[in-house]
Structure 1
């Protein structure tokens, strides 16, 4: 039996904030134990506005299958000359800094980041999917694509930066709804 250390993805919180980072990744599959990150996108938000963007394709050093290419548009040729994950790790962690990280179903992304970088993330994080469930409890699904369609947000494309923009717009919308409707977090 092989023992594997699991790294911490940060601490989940629920807050209404104006300064944060939005994070999204694309991967070769759903398992952080077996699959690899092929793209990272991050938005830095200050006073509810996008002030900086980080986007990087990553060479996973394994084959990207046809399903993932069809879903994301990212193929093997696109990543062959890109840096591997270890070459961008410091850039990603410095970009995020001590910010609260926001994402849609963000535990997926943070499990990959923490365990593929082999670091315990100290950051607090929030999940817009959980906020969407609070604001729209009657919806059958709260996937990012469902919320984008419902609220007519920027199209999410299963590309990191585009999904970050959709998630940013969603969080700002949900935050306003929580304030207006006096919804308890």
Structure 2
């Protein structure tokens, strides 16, 4: 089933030096841009991460230091990349938990003021796990009847993710609505504030902490009770966007 769109959507996948959002870097990004009229555009680019690629990461995606030695850094392509995906909804596989937070972190490191407030995020893995619970290769075999060759190459994974999503729409006509907003809602496990999911909203739309010793407690109340906690977060290895949210709330309190 073809995906029904009211505005463009991008399906994307990252290959990275590792899985630590604050420490690791992108080494390859592939984006499939789908327009409401069905037109598709694809861009894949290797990125010089500015750090050695660990052997464990190379074993997964096959990209070596030599492969990216003459490639641009993310900062060099960040502006044009951000403009190309501007106004697009965002689709990926495990993207809400990893790829989107990693991409946002890279944009912020490059000095790009990220505003995804009007975007809808569809995580094909979440749909799959809620309804079948398997991996991308298994999902591709299950829904599309194909073997995923060249897995963990960004372009192959991107194309497979898009095909799986379309097949999911055919496979679950009663559970899934062919609408980005509905798919984004189905893809979510909760209403998070930041892309890394360190902060969330409670039932009263108050921001709560979603990790550590203050998990489940309202951020404003914690900062009023333990103002040193703000300094600890700012000095620790948290994503830049998460720190920015702490700063917004903290500054709103001291301004009163």
Whether TM-score is above 0.5 comes out as yes
Q: Can you give the 5+ residue segments of structure 2 that lack an aligned partner in the other structure?
A: 177-185, 187-256
Could you tell me which residue of structure 2 aligns to residue 170 of structure 1? Answer: 164
Could you tell me which residue of structure 2 aligns to residue 112 of structure 1? Answer: 102
Q: Deviations over 1:138-175 (max 9, x none)?
A: xxx33212212323346251111111100000010011
Distance 1:133 1:116 in 2: 27
Could you tell me which residue of structure 1 aligns to residue 66 of structure 2? Answer: 77
Q: Secondary structure at the match of 2:57?
A: helix
Deviation of 1:183 after TM superposition, in Å, equals 1.1
Q: Deviations over 1:80-104 (max 9, x none)?
A: 0000000111222122121111001
Q: Secondary structure at the match of 2:172?
A: helix
**Partner of residue 141 from structure 2, selected from 143, 149, 162:** 149
Higher helix share: 2
Judged with a 3 Å threshold, the aligned counterparts in structure 2 of structure 1 residues 166 and 81 are, in CA distance, closer, same or farther, namely same
Quick check: 1:101–1:125 contact (8 Å CA) kept in 2?
A: yes
Could you tell me which residue of structure 1 aligns to residue 75 of structure 2? Answer: 86
Quick check: 1:128–1:167 contact (8 Å CA) kept in 2?
A: yes
Provide the aligned C-alpha RMSD in A: 2.0
Structure 2 length-normalised TM: 0.59
Aligned length: 164
Higher strand share: 1
Could you tell me which residue of structure 2 aligns to residue 98 of structure 1? Answer: 87
Distance 1:49 1:83 in 2: 31
Q: Can you give the 5+ residue segments of structure 1 that lack an aligned partner in the other structure?
A: 1-15
Judged with a 3 Å threshold, the aligned counterparts in structure 2 of structure 1 residues 54 and 157 are, in CA distance, closer, same or farther, namely same
Distance 1:70 1:100 in 2: 31
Structure 2 counterparts to residues 35-74 of structure 1, below 5 A: 35-47=24-36, 49=38, 51-74=40-63
Deviation of 1:49 after TM superposition, in Å, equals 4.4
**Partner of residue 161 from structure 1, selected from 155, 163, 169:** 155
State the 4+ residue runs in structure 1 displaced beyond 3 angstroms.
16-19, 47-50
Distance 1:53 1:114 in 2: 20
Structure 1 length-normalised TM: 0.80
Deviation of 1:48 after TM superposition, in Å, equals 7.9
Higher relative contact order (CA 8 A, sep 6+): 1
